[in-house]
Amino acid sequence: MKVVIATQNKGKIEGAKKALQEYFENVDIQGISVESNVPEQPVDEQIYLGAKNRVRNLKEYCKNNNINADLYLAVESGITNLLGRWMITNISVIEDNEGFESYGTSPSFPVPDRLVEDIINSNLSEVMDKVFEKDEERHNNGGGIQLLSKNKISRIDLTKLSFLMALVKYINKEKWN
């Protein structure tokens, strides 16, 4: 199965690959960086919109560069207050060649109220660099959640879970048609 994902972040690619390997054999995944067309720090509905835009831009990029794939993936991380508390969450979008879209979210983690405005006005990564020392491993694979969970959960884990939730609809698409 040929898959393209709208990122070159190794942790996100690995998380997506692990999710896909739960259901499919011979997963070949390629990361391609494309724009989300939302602010650098997506808030609330912008999180889904960013992932959706990345899939659309990824499909366009692949079409223009003669790249064939079975699935097109994107994951967007953002801050949300849609449930009445500020949290960081990931939303994954999967789309196939027929335009069937599936989506899912990762577990979310709370954000201290005192940091919300700083995160919205810059981004989570910059705020994490201020709260913790700048850490290249966090930037590449572990993510802020690795520090916050004391190495129990990584960006790879959150990405995998987000794509597993998106795969629920995809692997049962006959129930949605």
Task: Determine the pLDDT at residue 134.
Answer: 59
Task: Determine the pLDDT at residue 138.
Answer: 47
Task: Determine the pLDDT at residue 146.
Answer: 83
Task: Determine the pLDDT at residue 141.
Answer: 62
Q: Which residues of the chain have pLDDT under 50?
A: 137-138
Task: Determine the pLDDT at residue 95.
Answer: 98
b (16+ CB within 10 A) / e for 40-77: ebbbeebbbbbbbbbbbbbbebbeeeeeebebbbbbbb
Segment 47-59, tens digit of pLDDT = 999 999 999 999 9
Task: Determine the pLDDT at residue 139.
Answer: 52
Q: What is the DSSP string of the chain?
A: -EEEES---HHHHHHHHHHHHTT-SS-EEEE-----SS-SS-BTHHHHHHHHHHHHHHHHHHHHTT---SEEEEEEEEEE-TTSS-EEEEEEEEEETT--EEEEE---EE--HHHHHHHHHS-HHHHHHHHS---HHIIIIIHHHHHHTTTSS-HHHHHHHHHHHHHHHHHTGGGT-
Task: Determine the pLDDT at residue 128.
Answer: 78
